[in-house]
Structure 1
């Protein structure tokens, strides 16, 4: 437990130094709360120790509760750190740092540029994909799709009605990027500079 106190104190210092509002950072956690909670629930029913309570055939042990809290706190930490990094660092600085870092690892020098390029493209297209998801959501709502259904099956249908077209659009966009890079003569790490 002492390690978590140190880690979260360090995270608090980083948040203070970044001057980004805590509410804004917690919004990034709120966007994937369902996945974080699901990971915690899976851990809740694992482990041994003292039996806390039973839900039919499922038994919650003290160690399972501890594991669930540990997984949830780790995921929240990772999401907040990732948000801090992307909000305080430009994509170019981030890709340069990744390239420098992996360029120093023996055997990875050849792949450092490609890895940095993948990360850079991924970061740049997050807002584009978010906008496309919003457009798909509006289109599905205009067609009468039950997007704001409160039941679990309704929410799952709503997620799938957005996720499947979004995956198709992202694959089309990836193909367009690949064709554009090929048309411009991109050859990877061979004969390239930072400019």
Structure 2
């Protein structure tokens, strides 16, 4: 019997990516699958805090084991911005186009294009909380390239690669992505528990 676990998200891209990463060991449900229509407030001042808030909300209100994550892009020349505000950098939540435009505008004239994607994944299983972090270093390019992925993927080239995340297939991106690295730690933890 598979463990049932809820991904605290209704973001189709994120759910698809996490399902791919977790494979067949879990029966994955989304927030809408468990009847959660609320927009869970991300009011913490860190990715770890937001990840924990979402997982606790689902576990407390629906009594189901849960995986939640929060991710962000940290750009060195912008003192770590957009960071925890990555999804709403330009104001409106999840407007990728406007977020990218604002980021590129803020980087105009700056030589240092170093950046990293960071993900913190929180697992609440039988009431116990575990957290896993994944980081991928890279740089921000000047123009969007590629149609895959979401968020800042079209302007982020991971170190050691020539392509943006948005030019990669899911199979190419997952093993090297921040989310992939955090989820890999989660999978190793879960396998060790069995």
- Alignment TM-score, normalising by the size of structure 1: 0.28
Larger radius of gyration: 1
- Alignment TM-score, normalising by the size of structure 2: 0.29
